[in-house]
Amino acid sequence: MSIVPTAAAGNGIPLQAGAEAEMQSASSAISAALGPAPGATATFIGDLRELFKFKVTAMVLVTTWAGFYLGSMNSGISSMQRGLIETLVGVALVSAGASALNEALERKSDAMMIRTSQRPIAAGRISLAQGLALGLGAVALGGFWLLYSTNLLTVGLALLTVFTYVAIYTPLKRITTLATFLGAFPGAAGPLLGWTAARGQIEWPGVALFAILFVWQFPHFMAIAWLYRHDYGRAGIKMLPVVQPDGVSTVIEALFYAVLMIPVSLAPFWLGMAGIPYAILATVLGLLYLGYTIRFGRILRATSETESRMFARDLLKVSVIYLPLLLTGLMLAATVK
């Protein structure tokens, strides 16, 4: 007959089960000490990509590269140099930091919108303090890096861009539709930063690149605003389709800037930055962009929400294709001074 007790004293838990629980607890403690839980690292990396708006930062770097390349060509030197990498690193840090600060300030409105509710700060996976620390740290590091590797003008423009985006554009989104116009200024800074990093001064060719990015954004923004107007409405963000839901003002603004895009995109040709092949390409692309913006106007008589969204999504896709093609064509056709 067995003389081993079947339960721990007074609590009714079998000794064997208790021992197994203790072993599992100890194993969990060891695993936690040795490293994160399975999948935690991938989740954290994904959260950082979202916090720093990886796709937006990548687009900023593409436009900064274009500005640096064209500025270098204007100086008669190759852009494939250490200065290019240093500039891109600094601009990437500043852009990523501004994005993190934007998400920290918009955490409550992000939580109200379907498309942004899973952003890391809005969803609580990254705390507000952590988001602010990461954002401020990236901006500071990027600013010091640009100061070391470029010049004071580029640093000043980069920090002014952050201030405009975070301290002006972000809070004004809940107050007025003019926030979209003001937000287009930091959104167009990439090529000008590249130009000043290469040339050390603001010049008309750099301003022309800035103008191209500035004007391009409005049909692009109007397509996004229409697609997510219900989300913006829930969050109290004053986008044009929210304030004037009939869509007329949205279409008019998109069309105005799409028409303006054609002469603005030809500015590099008139300034001698590129020759006739670029002028032809810019005209063709501009007419295509305008055509899809005109087509976007059909949201005013769309028979269903699905059809309306299709017109907006098509313009959005064309806008994303248009800009890299235009900048690539300009870079390939650029003239050496």
190-205: pLDDT as tens digits: 999 999 999 999 999 9
Task: Report which of residues 96 and 74 the model is more confident about.
Answer: 96
Calculate the average pLDDT of the chain: 91
Q: What distances in angstroms separate CA 181 from CA 96, 168, 178, 187, one per listed residue?
A: 21, 11, 5, 10
The separation between CA 95 and the C-alpha centre of its own chain, rounded to angstroms, equals 8
Length of the chain: 337
Per the CB < 8 A criterion, the answer to whether 155 and 139 are in contact is: no
- Calpha distance 245→233 (Å, rounded): 10
Q: Are 240 and 249 in contact (CB under 8 A)?
A: yes
pLDDT tens-place string over residues 147-187:
999 999 999 999 999 999 999 999 999 999 999 999 999 99
pLDDT tier at 30, thresholds 50, 70, 90: very low
pLDDT of the residue at 75: 87
Residues sharing a CB contact under 8 Å with residue 317, sequence separation 6 or more, in sequence order: none
The per-residue pLDDT for 7 is 45
Angle between helices 152-163 and 189-199 (to 10 degrees): 170
> What is the DSSP code string of 130-167?
HHHHHHHHHHHHHHHHHHHHS-HHHHHHHHHHHHIIII
In degrees rounded to 5, what are phi and psi of residue 274?
A: -150, 165
H helices of the chain, in order, are: 15-34, 40-51, 54-75, 82-105, 107-112, 128-149, 152-163, 170-172, 178-187, 189-199, 204-227, 229-235, 240-243, 248-265, 267-270, 276-296, 305-333
Give the pLDDT of residue 114: 94
Rounded (10°) angle between helices 40-51 and 82-105 = 90
